Amino acid sequence: MYNQNYKVEIPQFPDREVSIAEYGAKSGDLQIETGRHNAEAINRAICEVSEQGGGTVRVPAGIWAVAPLRLLSGVNLHLDSQAMLKFIKSKEDYPLRITSYEGQDCIRTVSPVTAENAENIAITGDGIIDGSGDKWRPVKKFKMTAKQWDALFQISPYVIETKETEIWMPTETILEGNRHNIQGTTEEALAAAAPYYDFYRPVMVSLRYCKKVLLQGATFMNSPAWNIHPYFCEDLTVDSVKIRNPYYAQNGDGIDVESCTNVHIHHSTFETGDDAICMKSGKNAIARRIEGPCSNVYIHDCLVNEGHGGFVIGSEMSRGVKDILVENCTFVGTDVGVRMKSALGRGGVVENITLRNIHMSEIKGEAVILTMSYVLNSLNRNETIAMENEEDIPYFRDLSMENIEVTGCRQFTKIEPLQGRPETIRNVVVNGQKLV
């Protein structure tokens, strides 16, 4: 269980403060050239404040077009009330790179906001970060009204058909990228994929190998793929943020905490197009080569208004997920309330998970589902998972759920261990009743 005696360290900053306007940033113009100009100004401000020992880079009220930004150690990016950083999409500003997404190394574009190997960093204030995800994301027809679907064709005419539905594509390069689906981690693969850059949608806020991170107060919205992705971070605090994506946002997760330790998420609101609050730790045998469970996580007093799952673990959990406490949260209108998912081939162990005082309303499917039969189907790409040895078998164990109150769901609990291996899910207690 989460160590409640541990206090997650919160970054501290010197009194030094600069405004992006002092560095020449201009608001009120959403042209690509202005976005590049503002990104250069803001990145220069971040660099100088970091080199001087840290402080605050302030974004005043206004709508500021911007290209990708990089947070550096010692810097608090503070957005005043009525301030919006609006990320402008262009091929030149979003080069492809090899990064981690959905649990494995793969090709993606650079993220709108990146921090890597940084310490003492923050995004705070009452302003907004808008990733312009509507210019990146495909849209499935069955998630739209007829009027909404027809309106998309005023933007682009590109559609593919799958067995499930028609899928609208914002650009021809996304359409062609989906058809070619170039994968790999080599320079040759990057070069071959480059013409279809916007098929490789980025997470909006990428935090990699960072220590003492604070996200507080701000609204994070309209992400190209996942909204916030902390990866191998330590001492992460998410306090009173608002994370928003439309319900039809493909891969529009709220926060995906991957292989992080000492995490505190509280008093935050989520409206997402996919899973809202999700714990991950890599996928399959290749992920298990690196030690790094997701551990010591405390989540409380959060509201999920919409999403595939309110609180979710997996399906990428191969390095392990353990010692998590979730309490005093409300999930409204999600597809599933609590979902823990894995599959043969993942390996890894999910253990010592406690949920208590969770209130759910109008859940479309199961209030609680634990499944070992999860298979990813994304557009026309299927994932085949196979077992090569015993280490490929995942386990869920020592799961406690107390005072789970549900008003409206299709089914309260559903438990699916691996076929022929009931021990893969064991010691599960929900509302005082031991289920397995």
Written as one letter, the residue type at 106 is C
> Half-sphere exposure (CA, 13 Å, Cβ side) for 33?
0
The most distant pair of C-alpha atoms in the chain lies apart, rounded to whole Å, by 66
Written as one letter, the residue type at 218 is A
Say if residues 331 and 360 touch (Cβ distance below 8 Å). yes
Closest CA to 176 of 155, 149, 200, 203: 200
Beta-ladder partners of 238: 215, 265
Q: Is 51 exposed, middle or buried (0-12, 13-18, 19+ CB in 10 A)?
A: exposed
Q: Coil, strand, or helix at residue 4?
A: coil
d(CA 121, CA 134): 28
d(CA 336, CA 416): 15
* Strand 139-140 to 166-169 pairing: antiparallel
Distances (CA, A) of 311 to 163, 177, 213, 324, 412: 29, 32, 21, 11, 15
- Write phi, then psi, for 244 (nearest 5 degrees): -130, 130
Say if residues 323 and 350 touch (Cβ distance below 8 Å). no
> Which residues are within 8 A (CB) of 110 and not within 5 positions of it... i.e. 6 or more apart?
68, 94, 95, 97, 202
Structure tokens given for 358: 């969770």
Annotated catalytic residue: which of 308, 323, 335, 392? 308
d(CA 69, CA 47): 11
- Write phi, then psi, for 270 (nearest 5 degrees): -130, 130
Annotated catalytic residue: which of 198, 235, 256, 274? 274
d(CA 339, CA 350): 12
Residue written as token pair 């080569």: 289
Tally of helices (H runs) and strands (E runs) in the chain = 5, 37
**Is 37 annotated in the active site?**
no
**Is 274 annotated in the active site?**
yes
d(CA 56, CA 64): 17
Helical H segments across 52-162, by residue range: 146-152
d(CA 211, CA 235): 6
The set of catalytic residues is 274, 308
